[in-house]
Amino acid sequence: MTVSLKDVAQKAGVSVATASRALADHPRISEATKQRVRQAAAELGYMPSAIARSLVKQETRTLGVVTTTVTDPYAAELVRAVEDAAGAAGYTLLLLTSHNLPRREVAAIRALQERRVDGIIVISPRGVEHYPDILAHVTVPLVLVNHTLDHPRVRSVMADNRQGARLAVEYLVDLGYRRVAFIGGPTTSRSARERLHGYTEALRAMELPLDSRLMFPGQGRAEDGRRALLAMLDITPPPDAVLCYNDLTAYGILAQAWALGVRVPDDLAVIGFDNIPFSELTAPPLTTVAQPTEAMGHTAVALLLRWRRGEAVDTVHFDCTLVERATA
């Protein structure tokens, strides 16, 4: 059914070896036969089998990406950056999602290894504690975005979440806010833990009391923001500002505030985290902490590719910046 190199060779009247070399533009093939082979290939609509090539070359020119879900705008942004960088280098992406389940994450890594990808990028890992087991068998290099793991076959690309959270709290306090609340993220997320850390650290550094009633749990969903705002209103005195685990949570606050008539930032200042594209479209536009997502995605790919070339590579850290808009 599908035309193979053999067919091309036959049509051009040469051996498969020659046909292969001709199409690869091998130097020691006469221009004449090259022409003939190319012609034959074109006429037959020949499309080389990457599968067969991978088997002999022992490389697939494919990178595996595992992420929680592409519907998370932050993850999507990262996937986009990774796709761009990979594509530019001639690599294609095999995409698997974990839906936040450690088990699925590990299964994904395994599946990718079976497909012999040249490297794996895990965006916001959720199950690193299981990695040591699987890494005993997985032999491809792994790059973790937003997590670290001490293992010879693992490197990381990190945003400094602690510094980012500190930045936000300091900004709020400088603005005069004194009762700064925090809405956390999933406990399985390293970023969430670090942001919480940055929050408490900043408060301490600025000699402000740490009030546990001002710290709300969350899963990074808008729903968590809505709920937290409701809970905040029951506290006396209520917080005058809130740092959210992510922008989505901040949207929840904004939506609920709008519904309740709570004025932002007059009654309550809010700062998000991630600076996803919609954050400049909220009413009011969201002040938030940004990560250099694009650079992080590019770096993840670059790390993997340099690593494969045998170069020594090391984990990379990026600073966060504050994007001042209208909610604080």
Partner DNA sequence: TTGAAAGCGTTACCAG
Partner DNA sequence: CTGGTAACGCTTTCAA
Q: Which residues bind DNA (CB under 7 A)?
A: 2, 4-6, 13-18, 20-24, 27-30, 32-33, 46-49, 51-53, 55-58
- Closer to its own copies by Cβ: residue 146 or 279: 279
Q: For binding to its own copies (CB under 8 A), which residues are involved? A: 1-2, 45, 47-52, 54-55, 60, 62, 69-71, 73, 76-77, 79-80, 83, 87, 92-97, 110-111, 113-116, 136-139, 222, 251-252, 254-255, 258, 277-278, 280-285
Residue 21 contact, options DNA, its own copies, none, Cβ 5-8 Å cut-off depending on partner type? DNA
| Residue 69 contact among DNA, its own copies, none, beta carbon within 5 to 8 Å by kind | its own copies
Choice between 90 and 261, CB closer to DNA: 90
6 is in the binding site of which of DNA, its own copies, none (Cβ under 5 to 8 A by kind)? Answer: DNA
**Residue number, 103 or 115, with CB nearest to DNA:** 115
Closer CB to its own copies, 194 or 224, in the complex: 224
Q: How far is the CB of 5 from DNA (least distance, A)?
A: 3
CA-based R_g, the chain, Å:
26
Which of DNA, its own copies, none lies near 255, with the C-beta cut-off 5 to 8 A by kind? its own copies
Q: Residue 312: which of DNA, its own copies, none does it interact with, CB under 5 to 8 A by kind?
A: none
Q: Indicate if the alpha-carbon torsion angle 220, 226, 227, 232 is positive or negative.
A: positive
Is it true that the peptide bond before 48 is cis, omega within 30 degrees of 0? no
In angstroms, give the least distance from the CB of 75 to its own copies: 9
- How far is Cα 161 from Cα 166, in angstroms, rounded to an integer? 8
* Residue (154 or 173) nearer to its own copies, CB: 154
Min dist CB 268 to its own copies, Å, is: 14
Question: Which lies closer to its own copies via its Cβ, residue 81 or residue 241?
Answer: 81
* Contact partners, residue 290, CB within 8 Å, separation at least 6: 274, 275, 320, 321, 322, 323
The listed partner (DNA, its own copies, none) that binds 260, CB under 5 to 8 Å by sort, is: none
Which partner, its own copies, DNA, none, binds residue 102 by CB below 5 to 8 Å per kind?
A: none
**Would you say 134 and 111 are in contact if contact means Cβ atoms under 8 Å apart?**
no
User: CB 48 → its own copies: shortest distance, Å?
Assistant: 6
User: How near is the Cβ of 137 to its own copies at its closest, in Å?
Assistant: 3
Residue closer to its own copies by CB (options 76, 215) is 76
Contact at 8 Å (CB) between 287 and 272? yes
For DNA, give the closer residue by CB, 19 or 232. Answer: 19
CB 44 to DNA: min, Å: 11
